[in-house]
Amino acid sequence: MIAEISDLQFSYGPIKALDGISLNLAEGAVGLLGPNGAGKSTLLRILLGFLAPQHGQGRVLGFDIRLEQARIRRHVGYMPEDDCLIPGMDAVTFTAYFGELSGMPRQEAMKRAHDVLFYVGLGESRYRFLETYSAGMKQRLKLAQAIVHDPKLLFLDEPTSNLDPQGRREILELIQDISSKKDIQVLICSHILSDIETVCSDVVILNKGRLAAQGKLSELRELHYRLYEIRIKGEGEGFTARIKALGCRVEETEDKLLKVYVPAEMDIREIFRVAEGEKCQVRHFVRSRTSLEDLFARAVGVD
């Protein structure tokens, strides 16, 4: 378990940013999702040890979030969303510098900086001044400084923002590599749901300071509903109205394909009974994989 928190509450004045959140973050890559103002940043601040919760308790990597904040920060890596650099430095000095600040001896930090810069693909440009780096290179550099001290847990805030598709793919590959083979746990905060879907096995969805959904992506898909793609021949309106009355959510695509979200407890044969009653032919009936987008929309209550 990388983090356990219980009944976490935090308010900025009268505004409740976190309202009694309890969760256990499993090992591997975990995606942190939520609309703006959901409390993601506040949760990240607390997990990083920047804020002490007003109520509740928790541990990150076994360290108390109230009492052992410095220890937490020694063992975690953080890749912020914004571009951040120190002018007048090259990538090696920059990366080694943050390794030193994390507690690495100077020579070790310098040696390790070379290694991680090669790893993130900045080996050839490691002696260039940071001011001359492109957006993609800065993103890789932020990842390099986050992993230089070989953290046990990596916090990635919007790791693929401002990247072209190729750069995005490469960063995601790196994150996947780190989380799957390198024994480093990863918590990714992102608005790009497909990124989360690509990299993460678990998700945490926050909404209005509360926990909206949490668990393994595959289980969450199963847990809430099943998605079927249905194409019918005949009067579609009556069919749609009746299956909606049974508790299904129905979306119709432009080419008249019905995406039906069937509640977990509903018997699937009901759909065929409705079709029979409405004198419709079911021409296409395929179980579809629900996307994270569907899950997210359902969890936060938006279409």
Partner 1 sequence: MTIREKGYAHWDGQLRERRFPWAPITWLGIRLAFKKKYFKFIIFSSLVPAVVFLVGIYISERIEDFQYMFKGNKQILEVNPAYFKTYLSSDFLLFMMVMILVVSGAGLISDDLKHNSLQLYFARPLTKRGYLLGKANVIVFFLLLLTLVPGLVFIIFKLLFAGDFRFLASYPWLPLSVIGYSLFVTGFFCSYTLLFSSLSKNRRYVSILIFAVYLFSDILFGFFYENYKKPAFALLSLKANLQQVGSWFFRLKPAYAVPWYWSLLILLAFGIAASIVLNKKVRGVEVVK
Nearer CB in complex with partner 1: 104/243: 104
Q: Whole-number minimum distance, CB 193 to partner 1, in Å?
A: 21
Q: Whole-number minimum distance, CB 116 to partner 1, in Å?
A: 8
Nearer CB in complex with partner 1: 64/115: 115
Q: Are 11 and 209 in contact (CB under 8 A)?
A: no
Q: Whole-number minimum distance, CB 96 to partner 1, in Å?
A: 9
CA–CA separation, 215 and 116 (whole Å) = 31
Q: Whole-number minimum distance, CB 45 to partner 1, in Å?
A: 5
Footprint on this chain of partner 1 (rule: CB under 8 A):
41, 44-45, 48, 50-51, 70-71, 73-78, 80-89, 93, 97-98, 100-106, 108, 112, 115-116, 118-121, 123-124, 145, 147, 149-150, 157, 170, 173-174, 177-178, 182-183
| CA-wise closest residue to 141 among 103, 111, 174 | 174
Nearer CB in complex with partner 1: 118/127: 118
Q: What tokens does 238 get?
A: 């009556």
**Beta bridge mates, 78:** 155
CA–CA separation, 42 and 5 (whole Å) = 13
Q: Whole-number minimum distance, CB 167 to partner 1, in Å?
A: 10
Question: Side by side, which strands form the sheet with 55-60?
Answer: 15-25, 3-12, 55-60, 63-64
Is residue 267 packed enough to be buried (19+ CB in 10 Å), middle (13-18) or exposed (0-12)? exposed
Nearer CB in complex with partner 1: 123/247: 123
Nearer CB in complex with partner 1: 137/280: 137
In order of 9, 37, 267, 271, the CA distances from 256 in angstroms are 46, 36, 24, 17
